Amino acid sequence: MNWKFSGDRPVYQQIMENIRGAVLRGELPPGGKIPSVRDLAAAAQVNPNTMQRAMTELEREGLLVGGGTSGRTVTENPEVLEEMKERILEELARECAEKFMVFGITPSQAARLLLELDKEKEES
């Protein structure tokens, strides 16, 4: 996992985004074990209390389950994962659309380009 933090947003939120990303990319598969808070905090070089907070919040979201002595795992509930993916996609799309609008680009113009990029990637 790539742990990089910007100073102007709460660190626990940035950790949550990182974990969500790792799950969606498949680095942390459904049912996969999550390292201990202490190990994660050491790897990310953040305060264990902050890591604990991020884990608790992810548990509340339903992305992580467990949290007892046997440790946490990624949920195997496909609905939770699907819902999260949808939510992130929507958020990102809205953010992108706003940025495009700053330069007078409409979302449909942008979408055309995105499809082309997608094709290029497939070909290479």
Residues of this chain that bind another protein (CB under 8 A): 5-13, 38, 41-42, 45-50, 53
Smallest separation (angstroms) from another protein to the CB of 110: 26
- Please identify, using beta-carbon distances, which residue of 8 and 79 lies nearer to another protein: 8
Q: CB of 13: closest distance to another protein in angstroms?
A: 8
Instruction: Check: CB of residue 45 under 8 Å from CB of residue 3.
Output: yes
**Pick 59 or 83: Cβ nearer another protein:** 59
* Nearest residue (CB) to another protein, 48 versus 66: 48
Q: Least Å distance between CB 21 and another protein? A: 18
Measured between alpha carbons, how far is 118 from 45 in angstroms, rounded to an integer?
35
- Measure the CA–CA gap between 33 and 75, rounded to whole angstroms: 10
The least distance separating another protein from the CB of residue 37, rounded to whole angstroms, comes to 10
Contact 58, 19 (CB under 8 A): yes
Helical pair 48-61 and 11-25, crossing angle rounded to 10 deg: 50
Q: Please give the C-alpha separations between residue 27 and each of 6, 13, 22, 68, in angstroms, as whole numbers.
A: 22, 19, 5, 23
